[in-house]
Amino acid sequence: MDGTLLEVIGWLGSAVLVVSLLQTNLHRLRWINLVGCLVLIGYNGVVGVWPMVGLNVVLATINLWYLVRSHHERHDERAYEVLQVDGDDTYLRYVLRVHAADIQRWQPGFVHDPAAGDEAYLVLTGDATVGVVIVRPGPAKGEAQVLLDHVTARYRDRTPGEFVFGEHGPFRQRGHTVVRTPRGMREPYYARLGFTPEGDHYVLHTDPGAS
C-alpha cells in the first residue's frame, strides 16, 4: 500500500476517535468510536505497531459489548423505572431548567405550568434521568394531552414514552382512553406505540383495563 495513503488512513482513524469523544449521545459515541478503532486496528496492523493493535482491539470489544447490551435493554422494562411526580416537583423543575434549550429545539413552544395539576413522569435508568413526560387531563373524561415527551441528549436513542404509554406502564392505569400528542414535534416515534396520525399530531386509543 502506498505510504502516503496509509498515513492518511492512520490520521483518519485518529480523527474519527476524536469526533466520537465530542458526541453527547452515548449510543452514537460508541458507534463512531468503534469505527475509529477498526480503522486503527487495520492501520497499526499494516505498520506493525502491535501494542496499538491490542489497545484498539480491547476498545472495540468494549464498544461492541455496550452496544449489544444497549440494544437488548432499549425496550427492556427491567432496565428502566418510571417515577410519577407532581407537576411542581423540585427535581422535575430542575430537569426542565437544565434541558430547557434542548426541549425547545425538539418541542418548540413548550411552557411548564407547575400549578396546572399536570401528570409528570420521569424515566430513569440507574442514577441517570433518561427522559420526562408531562401530560394534562383533557376536558372530556378519559382524555389526556401530552404536553412534553423529551429524551435527554445522552440517551437520544431511547424512547422513554414507551415505558410511560406502553401496555405495562403506569399511564394506562390512570384510566386515560384517548391520548393526544403535541403538535409539531420533531421526529416523533409514536407510530411504534400504536398511535395513529391525525393531522399534525398522533392519537392513541387505549384500553384502561390493560395491564
Task: Say whether 180 sits in a helix, a strand or coil.
Answer: strand
Cell 499494516, residue located: 46
Higher pLDDT, 90 or 73: 90
Residue 169 has pLDDT above 80, yes or no: no
pLDDT value at position 211? 38
Per-residue pLDDT reduced to its tens digit, 10-68: 899 999 999 998 887 787 899 999 999 999 999 999 998 999 999 999 999 999 998 88
Binned at pLDDT 50, 70 and 90, residue 209 comes out as very low
Per-residue pLDDT reduced to its tens digit, 51-63: 999 999 999 999 9
Residue 81 CA to residue 194 CA, distance in Å, equals: 21
The model's pTM is 0.66
Higher pLDDT, 107 or 163: 107
pLDDT value at position 106? 83
pLDDT value at position 44? 93
Residue type, 102: D
Residue 160 CA to residue 94 CA, distance in Å, equals: 18
Check: CB of residue 63 under 8 Å from CB of residue 34.
Answer: yes
User: C-alpha angle with apex 151: 150 to 155, nearest 5 degrees?
Assistant: 180
